[in-house]
Amino acid sequence: MRGSLSPGRVRQGARVLFLVLSVPTVAVSPLPSRSPQEREGADGASFPPGHHQATADDPLLRICVIALTSFAFVFLGAASQLGEIGSSIALVIAFILTLVDSLPLGEIATRGLLYAWQMAVMPMALMIVFNLVLGTSPHRLLRQTVVERLEAAATAPTATVTWLPGAARTSYQLLLAVAALPAGLAQEARAALSEHCRAAAAAIGAGGRPPAPAAPAGPVGNEALRTVQASLDGLTRPNGGTDAVAPKPPFLAADAFSNPDYQRYALKTTAAAVICYLTYSLIAWQGIHTAMITCYVAALGTTGETVHKLALRISGCLVGAAIGLLCILFVIPHLGSVGGLMVLVFFGVLPGAWVSAGNERISHAGVQVGFAFLLTILNGFAPSLDMASARDRVVGTLLGNLVVYLIFTGIWPKSAVADVRDRLARVLAALSRLAALEPAARAAALDDAARVEAEAEKACEQLRLLPFEPASQRPAPAGIARLHALIAETRALLPPLMFCPGQEQGEIAQRLSRASAQVSGTAGGAGTDGVADAGPDAPGSLAARVRHIEQLAAR
């Protein structure tokens, strides 16, 4: 038994596994990065014929198919819930079709499709097994979210499958209500609420349900305070405080066929990919095919997003290739076993994985570090000593970045400011809908409240990307400061609006609706004439915040 598990047996078994499957580039899955030429094993495997056979003998038809499928899937990804998966599908189809030029037989292209599926499925299966054994379960993650919200609510005043979804919504309502508590609330009441929030967080963190809160000593006259107590009481119920389920968004966006931005984005991405394909095909330099991959990976909706991702892709590629070159020079010549190569891959990918697991603003650079490192040191079934692969990957990435930058900044450029205005208009429209509701219905309208927070956060993220845009597309510093102030005011308006008693709610709803139209540019140039001319408002009051929002939106 001990002999059968010896390192040599395991190493040979690993070789047999990969030779039978014939997947030389599985480490960089799911993107097929080169044309597989190995023919060992699995000779009986087959794959249904597809577009590659229909276009094998007609380069013009192949380019047309690449363009049409690319446009269709990139458009679908931009205008639907498919998201980045649409660009990934377009990339896989287009890349496989580009391999036909370098293959002498259509059967090899068919086998290439099989390799692509194997490269995609094998790592995914390993990830599924890994997450089943060591991953965080959704129930534990949702429970942790509820605990964090309760702990956050505790600092402000000074479980089953059916319980957790309701508790998640109830805890969010609790956060909003705590933020709207009156400044004059007695210190004893604040301390009692804080203590109960901490007790509830401890109980939920331990896997149980929180204890029932003590009944208020007298009548509660504040809507926010009543909501806090009702939320704490709801967490003790079997449904977590609510049976409401967040509505699922439609698959296609409401303006999928009326908003030209989706079609323009798909056209620009497709044009960049086709230009890169024609470039490296005409100069017969297949090694820089990462140029076309860059077009699908780095292209995003706004200029700021696209240039930011291009910068991350360049920096990650250079760092990963540099690490790979150092390993080729000083480490790989001393490797003598598969185990040594596995250790090298582990420590080479580790920096990229660490960066990738961090903030979303830099995570893509980590992916590129690991990707460039693997493409540099791995070639077929053995470590590579060819430095040309690192050069080709860097040149291809730089070429793709250049093409994407020129197209996305020169043809139909969409500044991040335009996206910020669209999102702010949606924020104000959601606030207007909230203001038009009755007080009891407004306090329970968590979907609109969550939409306000989500759109405001995305608007903030777009403003952070403005330094990546060309100076000619950026607004003046005063305009950027005004947008920051408008986002801050809309977020500050949400808690008091959710729990205001309801006086003049119709007027507030109309004023916020007008502000939404002004921000989106559909108000017909009303300017400051649409701002209500009432007397002075109390600082920090609901009326004062609405007036300030109107003034910021009218500029």
Q: Could you write out the three-class secondary structure of 417-443?
A: HHHHHHHHHHHHHHHHHHHCCCHHHHH
CB atoms within 10 A of CB 125: 10
CB atoms within 10 A of CB 291: 26
Asked whether the predicted pLDDT for residue 28 surpasses 80, the reply is no
Euclidean distance between CA atoms 224 and 443, whole angstroms: 9
pLDDT in tens, 457-466: 999 999 999 9
% of the chain at pLDDT higher than 90: 24
Euclidean distance between CA atoms 516 and 493, whole angstroms: 14
pLDDT, residue 159, reads 37
Asked whether the predicted pLDDT for residue 276 surpasses 90, the reply is yes
Q: What is the residue-wise DSSP string for 125-192?
A: HHHHHHHHHHSPPHHHHHHHHHHHHHHHHHHTT---TTHHHHHHHHHHHHHHHHHT--TT--HHHHHH
**Cβ atoms of 265 and 76 closer than 8 Å:** no
Joined tokens for residue 501: 């008693």
Euclidean distance between CA atoms 323 and 349, whole angstroms: 10
Helix (H) or strand (E) holding 379: strand 378-379
Highest average pLDDT, of 83-92, 414-423, 445-454, 532-541, comes from: 414-423
Q: Which pTM value belongs to this model?
A: 0.74
Q: Which residue has the tokens 């969409």?
A: 414
Asked whether the predicted pLDDT for residue 319 surpasses 90, the reply is yes
**Cβ atoms of 32 and 100 closer than 8 Å:** no
Q: Which of 105-109, 408-412, 414-418, 466-470 has the lowest mean pLDDT?
A: 105-109
DSSP assignment letter at 80: B
- The candidate with the shortest Cα–Cα distance to 546, out of 528, 531, 535, is 531
Domain segments of the chain as ranges:
22-129+255-410, 140-234, 416-554
Helix (H) or strand (E) holding 314: helix 303-330
**Cβ atoms of 273 and 94 closer than 8 Å:** yes
Euclidean distance between CA atoms 482 and 471, whole angstroms: 18
Asked whether the predicted pLDDT for residue 444 surpasses 70, the reply is yes
Q: What is the residue-wise DSSP string for 338-378?
A: HHHHHHHHHHHHHHHHHHHTS-HHHHHHHHHHHHHHHHHHE
Q: Check whether the bond before 30 is cis (ω within 30° of 0).
A: yes
DSSP assignment letter at 211: P
DSSP assignment letter at 121: H
Asked whether the predicted pLDDT for residue 73 surpasses 50, the reply is yes
Asked whether the predicted pLDDT for residue 207 surpasses 70, the reply is yes
**Cβ atoms of 46 and 108 closer than 8 Å:** no
pLDDT band of residue 514 (cuts 50, 70, 90) is very high
**Angle 433-435-437 (CA atoms, 0-180°, nearest 5)?**
75
pLDDT in tens, 126-172: 778 877 777 777 777 777 777 777 776 666 555 344 555 666 777 77
**Cβ atoms of 114 and 45 closer than 8 Å:** yes
| Maximum alpha-carbon separation in the chain | 91
Q: Under 8 Å CB-to-CB from 202, ≥6 apart: which residues?
A: none
Joined tokens for residue 276: 């890169």
pLDDT band of residue 96 (cuts 50, 70, 90) is confident
pLDDT band of residue 75 (cuts 50, 70, 90) is very high
Asked whether the predicted pLDDT for residue 471 surpasses 80, the reply is yes
Joined tokens for residue 78: 């931009």
pLDDT in tens, 350-408: 999 899 888 888 888 998 999 889 888 887 666 777 778 778 888 998 999 999 999 99
Q: Under 8 Å CB-to-CB from 555, ≥6 apart: which residues?
A: 482, 528
pLDDT, residue 326, reads 92
pLDDT, residue 221, reads 60
Which residue would you say has higher pLDDT here, 446 or 223? 446
